[in-house]
Structure 1
Amino acid sequence: MTDEELHRHLVGRQGSRRELNTPVLVIDRDALDRNIARMAAFAMAQGLALRPHAKTHKSADVARRQIAAGAVGQCCAKIGEAEALAAEGIGGLLLTSPVVSVPAIERLAALNARSEGLICTLDHPDNARAIAAAIAARAGAPLTVLIDVDPGIHRTGVASPDTAVALFEVIRDLPALSYGGVQFYCGMQQHITDYADRAAAMADRAAYLRTVLAALTDAGGAPRIVSGGGTGTHRIDATLGLFTELQAGSYVFMDDQYRACALTEEGDMPYETALMIDARVVSVNAPGMATVDAGLKAMATDAGPPRILAGGGEGARFVFMGDEQGALIGGGPMRLADAVTLAAPHCDPTVNLYDHYHLVSGNDLVDIWPVTARGRSR
């Protein structure tokens, strides 16, 4: 049975969260809305546009809330995510990863014809020419492109100011493309735990970006858009005087990876945990341990085991016990069918394991949302 079939009748019923079939992916709607409002207010106060990264939530419903709060659109890691959101009427989409293969470029050209404000990034002249040819073949409106600048991770992006200028000159001569500026996403810096160390790392990267922007400006390519930043560095990014828009995404859910970082100079946490997994005790036969129905298939494991948000008793810790089960070690005695709530250790890949979000307010199920772009990894 689908989530809708299992749970739609519970929406609006008092205390219905405890009747959900588990494991289940849960959003605290009130915390989500507060997170969205806080980041929107921050960006507005700093004079920056906000284009949150949808790879975090993959949800047209979350995207609509972000845009209603002031976001100019959404970032998408893959063209499949962009297609899924565009089909739901979400505009202002920025593809942050290269679109290179022939079939993917054909999809990009088709998407450009039906998605208002579409932008893509690229880092190679051959890719620029291939995309331009596909756009021109459809006689469509020019596609806005950003030059992806490598921040030092060597994953994607042009490798020097000179190669940035060379790519700009190619783009400038292709009528099917419209040069918009640059992307500079410092992924390695997002999870540096100490705020001062993170700020120093970003200051170093900003000095390099200034050389790229200066070279582009001298060549006639002063960027209209400088897109980048993330949840871990957004407070720092806003002080650098370089970015025009922020791509922060994880702030909507605040997984444990970001909670391990001091997001402000004062060390306070401006965003709340809004994404969680509800589970249930299925066995209590071993002393000092209770087995729950959420294991390796219920959450991403690259960030380690989850925090226990509710249930289990003080001092309990979670350990994985296989694909389908986990265990609470220590804490208080548990009974069969007791509810347990776990924090998502890493939100993006955890979300991709589920078909639906279950929105709750307190202990009440208030809505069910599809994970619109689940599995759209190509």
Structure 2
Amino acid sequence: MNDQQLHAHLIGRQGSRRDLNTPVLVLDLDRLDRNIATMAGFAASHGLQLRPHAKTHKSVDIAKRQLAAGAIGLCCAKLGEAEALADGGITGLHITSPVVPAPAVERLAALNLRSAGLMTVVDNPDNARAIARAVERAGDATLSVIIDVDPGIHRTGVASADAAVELLDAIRALPALVYRGVQFYCGSHQHIHSYAEREAAMRERADYLRTVIAALTDAGGAPEIVTGGGTGTHRIDAGLGLFTELQVGSYVFMDDEYRACDLTGEEGAPIPFETSLMIDTCVISANTPGLFTLDAGIKSMATDGPLPTVETGASEEARFFLMGDEHGALMTQPGALALGDRISLRAPHCDPTVNLYDNYHAVRGQTLDAIWPVSGRGRSR
């Protein structure tokens, strides 16, 4: 049975969260909305546009809330995510990874005809030319492109200021493409735990970006848009005087990886965003003293980072560990839990955890409010 068949009758029923079949991905709407409002207010107060990253949530419903709060569009890591959001009426989409395979380039050109404000990154002149040819074949339209600048992790992006200028020249020779600016996303900096160390690393990278922007400006390509930043560095990004928009993503959920970081640089300051995404589980076996087996294992959560921690249902001191594909367990005081008890776990790494589920179960308090599809689930191409 699918989630609608299992749970639609619980929508609006007081206390119905407890009746959800587990494991289940639960989204606290009040916390989500506060997180969205907090980041929107931060960006506005610093004169920055907000183009949140949908790779975190892959959700048309959440994207609509972000747009309503003032976002100018959404970022998508992959073309498939952008197609899914466009199908849901989301505009102002920016694809943050190069689109290179020939079938994908054709899809990109087709998406451009039906998605207002679409942008994509390029980091290679040959790719720019291939995209331009596809755009021309698709119809009477132009596509906005952003030069992706490698921040030093060597994943994607032009590798030097000279390469950026070479790419700029290639783009300007293609009538089907419109150069809009640069992208600079320092992904490896987002989870540096110390604020001071993160800030120092970002300022060093910002100095490099300034050399790229200067070279582009000297070549007549001063960027209209400088897009990048992330949840871990957003406060630092705002003070660099470089970015025009932020690509923050995980702030909507605030997973355990970000909870471990000092996001403010202010001793004793509270975490500025709330945990809104949980995995609700159930104790299904309790025959060993102090060990309580849960119905959520490797298939229910991302396992590329720290193990999840307890949000509600058990002591904060309870320790979770995996017991295989289908099971996890909590170690805590003997007798602390009983068969059937509900445990809510904080998502350890939100993006890949979300991709394991078909739907969000959106709650207000302990009542199921809605069931939202993970619109872009599995859309990795």
TM bin (shorter chain): over 0.9
Matched, 1:296 2:298: yes
Q: 3-state DSSP class of the match of 1:217? A: helix
Deviation at 1:310, TM superposition (A): 1.2
Deviation at 1:127, TM superposition (A): 0.2
- Equivalent residue number for residue 329 of structure 1: 331
Aligned alpha-carbon RMSD (Å): 0.8
- Equivalent residue number for residue 24 of structure 1: 24
1:204-252 CA deviation, whole Å, 9 max, x = no partner?
A: 0000000000000000000000000000000000000000000000000
Q: 3-state DSSP class of the match of 1:284? A: strand
The within-5 A match list for 1:185-334 is: 185-267=185-267, 268=269, 269-313=271-315, 315-331=317-333, 332-334=335-337
Alpha-carbon distance in structure 2 between the residues aligned to 1:24 and 1:205: 40
Distance 1:10 1:316, change over 3 A: same
Query: Tell me, which stretches of 5 or more residues in structure 2 are unaligned?
Result: none
Alpha-carbon distance in structure 2 between the residues aligned to 1:304 and 1:270: 21
Alpha-carbon distance in structure 2 between the residues aligned to 1:191 and 1:305: 16
Alpha-carbon distance in structure 2 between the residues aligned to 1:106 and 1:330: 55
Deviation at 1:314, TM superposition (A): 5.0
2:361 to 339, 358, 362: 358
Q: Which amino acid aligns with 1:31?
A: R
- Equivalent residue number for residue 78 of structure 2: 78
Q: 3-state DSSP class of the match of 1:7? A: helix
Alpha-carbon distance in structure 2 between the residues aligned to 1:189 and 1:313: 32
Alpha-carbon distance in structure 1 between the residues aligned to 2:114 and 2:316: 53
Q: 3-state DSSP class of the match of 1:214? A: helix
Identity, in percent, stands at 68
- Equivalent residue number for residue 63 of structure 1: 63
Alpha-carbon distance in structure 1 between the residues aligned to 2:89 and 2:239: 33
- Equivalent residue number for residue 148 of structure 1: 148
Q: Which amino acid aligns with 2:189?
A: Q
Distance 1:314 1:56, change over 3 A: closer
1:242-275 CA deviation, whole Å, 9 max, x = no partner?
A: 0000000000000011111111121531100000
Alpha-carbon distance in structure 1 between the residues aligned to 2:63 and 2:332: 40
Alpha-carbon distance in structure 1 between the residues aligned to 2:193 and 2:164: 31
Matched, 1:338 2:345: no
- Equivalent residue number for residue 375 of structure 1: 378
- Equivalent residue number for residue 54 of structure 1: 54
Query: Tell me, which stretches of 5 or more residues in structure 1 are unaligned?
Result: none
The 10-residue stretch of structure 1 (135-144 or 254-263) with the greater mean CA deviation from structure 2: 135-144
Q: Which amino acid aligns with 1:9?
A: H
**8 Å contact from structure 2 (residues 308, 320) kept in 1:** yes
Alpha-carbon distance in structure 1 between the residues aligned to 2:354 and 2:75: 16
Distance 1:314 1:77, change over 3 A: closer
1:150-189 CA deviation, whole Å, 9 max, x = no partner?
A: 0000000000000000000010110000000000000011
Q: Which amino acid aligns with 2:246?
A: L
Q: 3-state DSSP class of the match of 1:157? A: coil
Q: 3-state DSSP class of the match of 1:285? A: strand
- Equivalent residue number for residue 103 of structure 1: 103
Alpha-carbon distance in structure 2 between the residues aligned to 1:327 and 1:140: 58
Q: Which segments of structure 1 move beyond 4 Å, counting only runs of 4 or more?
A: none
Deviation at 1:335, TM superposition (A): 1.2
